[in-house]
Structure 1
Amino acid sequence: MKTLKKLDINKVATAIEADVGNALPGLRESLAQAKAGEFAQVHTPEQMVARRRGRPAGSKQAVTKEAVKIRLDADVLAALRASGDGWQTRINDTLRASLALSGALEK
Structure 2
Amino acid sequence: MNESGQLAHDPGAPEGEELGADFWQAAAVEQPPRRRSVHLKLDADVFEFFRQEAGGRGHITRMQDVLRAYAKARRAAGVR
Q: Give the TM-score of the pair, scaled to structure 1.
A: 0.37
Report the TM-score when normalising by structure 2: 0.47
Higher RCO (CA 8 Å, separation ≥ 6 residues)? 1
